Chains A and B, each alone.
Chain A
Amino acid sequence: MEQLKTIGRELAMGSQGGFGQSKEFLELVKSIGEARSKAEEDRIVVREIETLKRRIVEPDIPKRKMKEYIIRLLYVEMLGHDASFGYIHAVKMTHDDNLLSKRTGYLALTLFLNDDHDLIILIVNTIQKDLKSDNYLVVCAALNAVCRLINEETIPAVLPSVVDLLAHPKDAVRKKAVMALHRFHLKSSSSVSHLVSNFRKKLCDNDPGVMGATLCPLFDLIALDPSSYKDLVVSFVSILKQVAEHRLPKSYDYHQMPAPFIQIKLLKILAVLGSGDKQASEHMYTVIGEIIRKGDSSSNIGNAILYECICCVSSIYPNHKLLEAAADVNAKFLKSDSHNLKYMGIDALGRLIKITPHVAEQHQLAVIDCLEDPDDTLKRKTFELLYKMTKSSNVEVIVDRMIDYMISISDDHYKTYIASRCVELAEQFAPSNHWFIQTMNKVFEHAGDLVNIKVAHNLMRLIGEGFGEDAATADNQLRSSAVESYLRIIGEPKLPSMFLQVICWVLGEYGTADGKYSASYITGKLCDIAEAYSNDETVKAYAISALTKMYAFEIAAGRKVDMLPECQSFVEELLASHSTDLQQRAYELQALIGLDARAVETIMPQDASCEDIEVDTDLAFLNGYVQQSLERGALPYIPEDERTGMVNVSNFRSQDQHESAQHGLRFEAYEVPKPPMPSKVATVSLSSSTDLVPVPETLYSRETHQISSAGLSSETGSSELKLKLDGVQKKWGRPTYSSPTSSSNSTSQNPVNGATQTTDVATAVNSKVRDNYDTRKQRIEISPEKQKLAASLFGGSTKTEKRSSTSSKVPKASASVPDRSQESKAAVAPSEVAQGKTIQSSPPPDLLDLDESTITVAPPSVDPFKQLEGLLDPSINSTTNHSSGVTNAPDIMTHYAATPASRESGSGGYSIPVTGDNVNLLSELSNAAVRGTTGETTTTPLPQSVKGPNAKDSLQRDAKVRQMGVTPTSQNPNLFSDLLG
């Protein structure tokens, strides 16, 4: 009704009064609203641009009219067209005395301009003036503009006024002044570095709005440097406590929840402050526990807060009770039917498992459901979780899944992302080189152009280096399997360039190494590649080099080389190539063929790709020369990144070393801000605290690693260390986090690797057995595939629990055997196997020690998943299904659905109270009578009004339509539908 009156009034006033809009504007909005296609909309806007260009330059345009033109300009830009011809008029309008015009002018400018636009300089003066205005609304309008339009250069022009406004009597002004300062901090932190203490002060502002706004800049500041704000922990905690206890004004409530957005911001801040800080965290435990306890898991906003609590709990110093409470909340999320909650649950689970890895176990099936959900968002989130859970025991399953998904999507952005994830995981956890190569092949085949070139180089290096000296035969096997797979893949159409480079290189090096394929066969294939991808010069370069190698090996082996005609023509083509690189390679090939066997063998020895490249990244051979020069008084070399910006520090360091023979000046005063060391210490302590629970050994090794590297850097200066890290020293798999199990590179660790696999089998079996047991009670219809997947994903996830599980789960398993045997005989066999397995693996009491003497070297080829397949007889599941109880009755909680349309949701819809219906109807009728419209209005409902659910709605729509002068058509009936249903 309110609206009807408004519109009626506007129309009545026409173009001469109030804040009304002209007929022209109404027509524009109407036509845009009814446009059926983007093309139609574009036509309307183009026409509108022409009109505006003409009108806006007319002399003596009334203010109100001008404001309308500016809003029409907003439409033009919003719908994707250029309105720059009118920017200057928006600038002029900011000079207006009328508040509404002024604010509209500012608004238009914030929407039109970036802060480096030339016009900005024209409004700085206006802003300065407005910031000093007596009318606080003018000041607010100016501050809004400050937050969008003031750039680094113009900050000084307004800074003093903004600082003064921090003490303005109006809270709205103080709030915006705080945010303006925040903006300056974001734009150029140095310009306001002396003013950050103001944020601390404003935290204690007696207006909750100002306090709430101040949390934003404080959060940014704290995220940058938590240590300087530890003293505020107590204040934040006490604010949070008060907010949660409903001490803020009622107007901050949202669906009966006290100031939820402020609570969430505070929890975010506490999460940062408490991270790795036991003392700070202890202040927080009570209030967080209280919020979780009182948490309302029936509304979206309640769950938003609960989710933030989980994030906070998993970030701060671990507290057992809170973690348990968080896990309980998370379980509710994961069990919910709402996809939104599941999504949050998966995310939260990813956070929780960092501290308590075992929580993932009870949610295996929920996680798998999410993984298999058709909803991409949920699926991707789940991949994110799996990425965090990956270890050498489940890497194959996870990477396979990721690759399958990668193949299925077409979104390049995400494809790149997930491909890099696959590569990263494969490099870290690859169980075997063979698997690694197969995986890389798949990644290259399907996302080859999206992955980093380094990945290709790593793959080539791996194939070239192999395992090392001891396993020559394994290396050869690996290579011939690579060659074979590549020869197979070559036939595929449209391979990515990078993959072809790898293929050419490998074929050139090892194509004939095992004698299975003849040189002419391989060279023929190489020429095919070069021909098929003739516009890719890099591939051609790789191909010709490969050809050179092939012929060199043939000559060295004393065989006669007869070039295939297509090879000859390929070489000839390259001899005349525009690319000097290709040309040179071709000439080299020609020259090489003319040489005798011995010479060729020295130039191009077989399988020497690893030996002959020795790059000394440190340029150590120059050390003597450098030393000499230094002794003669030359200046020491300063790495480039230190020369810029860090001049002081590096100067200081160099002086430290040489005791300042040359420089008279000393720069001690600058030493203090040297940041790296303290932060390094902080990360060490952080990682130790978070990892303390799960795997102490890993922690130890990592810690020592970090400490040693830290020590190194402090001794020799970080420049050397940096160089080395970038250089070649890195093996294909980078040093991994779970150091003992991962790198299958070194032979000494192979038995260890095998041993872990067996233990994984054991745990997998254990959890499997228990799984089945639990399943009987809880779940209906879980397909064997899912269970298998669960076992392979989560099987190895509970290293810490192993000891207890081996002992305690066995009786359970055996207890369940008789049950099953009564139901089906087929089920007995697998469960017996399971039992056997558990017993078999239980003798080594301390699995975590991985003592090689106690564990017989298990063959690394044991595939845990293969074994599991045997265990998972479908009949078990069918029996499980029969015997499963009814505990799966739908939880009321899970019924909560966050449907976007609030129409059916109980999440605090703002719907019209039913009792008001009559009143509305009555008043509307009387209204219609007053207007003198004929009775027809009520009797002939128009097409779109029929859509309304009841008579009242139809009436309302109809009346509105008539009043607005918008001829109702069925084109866009939705324009009139209430957003809040």
Chain B
Amino acid sequence: MGIRFVLMVNKQGQTRLAQYYEYLTLDERRALEGEIVRKCLARNEQQCSFVEHRNYKIVYRRYASLFFLVGVDDDENELAILEFIHLLVETMDRHFGNVCELDIMFHLEKAHFMLEEMVMNGCIVETSKSNILTPIQLMDKTS
């Protein structure tokens, strides 16, 4: 399955985007997000960008005030996931231009669309920025 969830959470622990590739109830999500955010916030920059939590491995990366957290299976290549996060941010940056937290908040559905293009069934399926953004731009044009 690979990727189990993608989260964007800010420094205050507020969720900005959440996408789960396996079903969790609202309460489970709430608890999980609280726990892992607390864990990741407690870490400093020298420490690994990886944290084990329950049966997940969490790869996280911080951009300004926003944390990107990706929960993966045990046999996933952590460094690659770390770069996947960067690719996602670069893609959003290309679309929004100097992307910031507020862009994601105002265009939550678009951030989701991009993620939908990149990850399906928990697998990374598309990594070409133009392929990811084409459908979204087309949609913008037609509507």
Identify the A interface with B (CB < 8 A). 1-3, 6-7, 19, 21, 26, 29, 32-33, 35-38, 41, 71, 74-75, 77-82, 98-101, 103-104, 107, 111, 114-115, 137, 140, 144, 147, 172, 175-176, 179, 182-183, 186, 209, 212-213, 216, 249, 251-252, 254-255, 259-262, 264-265, 268, 300-301, 303-304, 307-308, 311, 339-340, 342-344, 375-378, 380, 413-414, 898-902, 907-908, 910, 912, 964, 972, 974-981
Q: Is the CB of A304 within 8 A of B45?
A: no
Contact B51 A78 (CB under 8 A): no
Residues of A within 8 A of B124 (CB): 216, 261, 265
CB pair A974 B121 closer than 8 Å = no
B-side interface residues toward A, CB under 8 Å? 1-2, 10-15, 17-19, 23, 26, 29-30, 33, 43, 45-52, 54, 60-66, 77-80, 82-84, 86-87, 89-90, 92-93, 96-103, 105-106, 108-109, 112-113, 116, 120-121, 123-131, 134-135, 138-140, 142-143
Are B66 and A979 in contact, CB atoms less than 8 angstroms apart?
Answer: yes
Q: Judge whether A137 and B48 touch: CB under 8 Å.
A: no
Instruction: Tell me, in angstroms, the Cα distance from A3 to B143 when the chains sit together.
Output: 19
Smallest beta-carbon distance B119→chain A, Å? 10
Q: If A19-B143, A901-B62 touch, does A3 touch B109 (CB 8 Å cutoff)? A: no
Smallest CB gap from A207: residue in B:
B131
Cβ-defined partner of B64 (8 Å) among A101, A255, A979: A979
Identify which of A99, A147, A377, A901 contacts B48 (C-beta below 8 A).
A377
Q: A741 CA to B65 CA in the complex, in Å?
A: 55
User: Residues of B contacting A183 with CB < 8 Å?
Assistant: 120-121
Whether A33 lies near B105 (C-beta < 8 A) is yes
The reply to whether A979 and B126 form a contact with Cβ atoms under 8 Å apart is no
A-B contact pairs, 11 of them (CB 8 A): A3-B103, A41-B14, A71-B108, A99-B142, A107-B113, A209-B125, A264-B80, A343-B78, A901-B62, A977-B100, A980-B89
Residues B79 and A301 in contact, CB atoms below 8 Å apart: yes
Tell me which of B12, B89, B130, B142 contacts A979 (CB under 8 A).
Answer: B89
**Are A301 and B80 CB-contacts (below 8 A) given A32-B14, A251-B130, A910-B93?**
yes
The residue in chain B whose Cβ has the minimal distance to the Cβ of A956 is: B98
Contact between A216 and B125, CB atoms less than 8 A apart: yes
Chain B residues closer than 8 Å to A26, beta-carbon distance: 106
Write the chain B residue with the least CB distance to A187: B121
Instruction: Tell whether, in the assembled complex, residue B120 and residue A978 are in contact, meaning their CB atoms are under 8 Å apart.
Output: no
Do most interface residues of chain B lie in helix, strand or loop, or is the interface mixed?
mixed
Question: Among A38, A75, A103, which residue has its beta carbon within 8 angstroms of that of B113?
Answer: A103
| B89 proximity list for chain A (CB < 8 A) | 910, 979-980
Across the interface, name the chain A residue whose C-beta is closest to B99.
A979
> A980, B99: Cβ atoms under 8 Å?
yes
- Give the distance to chain B from A138, nearest Cβ to Cβ, in Å: 10
Within 8 Å by CB of B105, from A32, A114, A254, A907, lies: A32
CB B51 to nearest CB in A, in angstroms, measures 6
Asked, given contacts A77-B26, A216-B121, A343-B78, whether A974 binds B51 with beta carbons under 8 Å apart, the answer is: no
Q: Which residues of B contact A186 (CB under 8 A)?
A: 1, 121
Of all chain B residues, which has the CB nearest A83?
B26
Distance A172 CA – B46 CA, assembled complex (angstroms): 40
Asked whether B15 lies within 8 Å of A251 as measured between CB atoms, the reply is no
- Bound CA span A259–B19, Å: 25
Contact, CB under 8 Å: B109 / A107: yes
Given contact pairs A79-B15, A377-B50, A979-B101, A900 touches B140 in the complex (Cβ within 8 A): no
Q: Which chain B residue has the least Cβ–Cβ distance from A378?
A: B48
Closest to A216 in B: B123
Q: Bound state CA distance, A907 and B86, in angstroms?
A: 10
Bound Cα distance A255, B90 (Å)? 11
Cross-chain contact A254 with B125 (CB below 8 angstroms) = no
**A304 and B100 in contact, given A33-B105, A212-B127, A260-B83 (Cβ under 8 angstroms):** no
Taking the closest CB of chain B, its distance from the CB of A479, in whole angstroms, is: 40
Shortest distance in angstroms between B50's beta carbon and chain A's nearest beta carbon?
5
Chain A residues with CB below 8 A from B128, complex form: 209, 249, 251-252
Tell whether, in the assembled complex, residue A976 and residue B100 are in contact, meaning their CB atoms are under 8 Å apart: yes
Cβ contact within 8 Å between B139 and A100: yes
Q: How far is B138's CA from A103's CA once the two chains are assembled, in angstroms? A: 13
A-B pairs, 7 with minimum CB distance: A974-B65, A2-B97, A304-B79, A979-B63, A216-B123, A977-B64, A114-B23
A977 touches B65 (CB 8 A): yes
Q: Looking at the complex, which one of B47, B80, B131 makes contact with A339 (CB distance below 8 Å)?
A: B47
B80 engages A261 (CB within 8 Å): yes
CB-CB under 8 A from A301, the residues of chain B are: 79-80, 83
Do B131 and A251 have beta carbons less than 8 Å apart? Answer: yes
Chain B residues near A111: list those with CB within 8 A: 19, 112
Query: Residues of A contacting B1 with CB < 8 Å?
Result: 186
Does the CB pair B120–A144 fall under 8 Å?
yes
State whether A74 touches B109 (Cβ < 8 A).
yes
Shortest Cβ distance from B81 into A: residue = A304
With A901-B62, A975-B101: A308-B120 Cβ-Cβ less than 8 Å: no
Partner of A978 from the list B43, B83, B98 (CB cut-off 8 Å) is B98
Evaluate contact between A304 and B109: CB separation under 8 angstroms: no
Given A99-B143, A137-B135, A975-B101, A375:B108 Cβ within 8 A: no
Contact check, B84 vs A261: say whether CB atoms are below 8 A apart: yes
Q: Which residues of B contact A978 (CB under 8 A)?
A: 64, 98-100
Q: Is the CB of B100 within 8 A of A377?
A: no
Q: Which residue of B lies closest to A303 (CB)?
A: B79
Knowing A78-B18, A114-B23, A251-B129, the reply to whether A900 touches B49 (Cβ < 8 A) is yes
CB distance from B132 to the nearest CB of A (A): 10
How many angstroms from the CA of A7 to the CA of B99 in the assembled complex? 13
Q: A301-B83, A974-B65, A979-B63 are in contact. Are A175 and B125 (CB under 8 A)?
A: yes
CA separation between A115 and B122, bound complex, in Å?
A: 16
A175-B126, A264-B80, A898-B82 in contact; A375/B48 too (CB < 8 A)? yes
Closest to A171 in B: B131
Enumerate chain B residues within 8 angstroms of A114, measured Cβ to Cβ: 23
A213, B129: Cβ atoms closer than 8 Å: no
B143→A979 contact, CB < 8 A: no
Most buried by B among A26, A262, A375, A964: A375
Instruction: Find B30's partner among A3, A80, A254, A304 (CB 8 Å cutoff).
Output: A80
> In the bound complex, do residue A977 and residue B77 qualify as a contact, i.e. CB atoms below 8 Å apart?
no
| Chain B nearest Cβ from A964, distance in angstroms | 8
Tell whether, in the assembled complex, residue A974 and residue B101 are in contact, meaning their CB atoms are under 8 Å apart: yes
Q: Taking the nearest CB of chain A, how far is it from the CB of B55, in angstroms? A: 8
Whether B125 lies near A213 (C-beta < 8 A) is yes
Task: Determine the chain B residues whose CB is within 8 A of the CB of A19 once the complex forms.
Answer: 140, 143
Q: How far is the CA of A111 from the CA of B100 in the complex (A)?
A: 23
Closest chain A residue to B106, Cβ basis? A29
A380 CA / B57 CA spacing, docked (Å):
12
Contact of A140 among B60, B61, B135 (CB under 8 A): B135
Flag if B64 contacts A981 (CB, 8 Å): yes
- The smallest C-beta distance from B4 to any residue of chain A, in angstroms, reads 13
Distance, CA A469 to CA B105, complexed state (A):
75
CB proximity of A942 to chain B, nearest CB, Å: 15
Distance of A364 from chain B, by nearest CB (Å): 21
Closest B residue to A979 using CB positions = B63
| Cβ contacts under 8 Å, B77 to chain A | 264, 268, 304, 307-308, 311
CA distance A209 to B135 in the complex (A): 14
Assembled-state Cα–Cα distance A375/B46 (Å): 9
Which residues from B are CB-within-8-Å of A115? 23
Cross-chain contact A74 with B108 (CB below 8 angstroms) = yes
With A304-B83, A343-B50 given, is the CB distance from A252 to B127 under 8 Å?
A: yes
Contact call B138/A980, Cβ cutoff below 8 A: no
Instruction: Give the distance in Å from the alpha carbon of A524 to the alpha carbon of B121 in the complex.
Output: 62
B135 / chain A contacts, CB cutoff of 8 Å: 137, 140, 172
Partner of B45, one of A35, A179, A259, A900: A900
- Give Cα distance in the complex from A156 to B24, angstroms: 26
Give, as a whole number of angstroms, the nearest-CB distance from B108 to chain A. 6
* Residues of B contacting A907 in the complex (Cβ-Cβ under 8 angstroms): 86
Q: Is the Cβ of B82 less than 8 Å from the Cβ of A137?
A: no
**Is B139 in contact with A99, judged by CB distance below 8 angstroms?**
yes
- When C-beta atoms are compared, the residue in chain A nearest to B21 turns out to be A148
CB distance from B110 to the nearest CB of A (A): 10
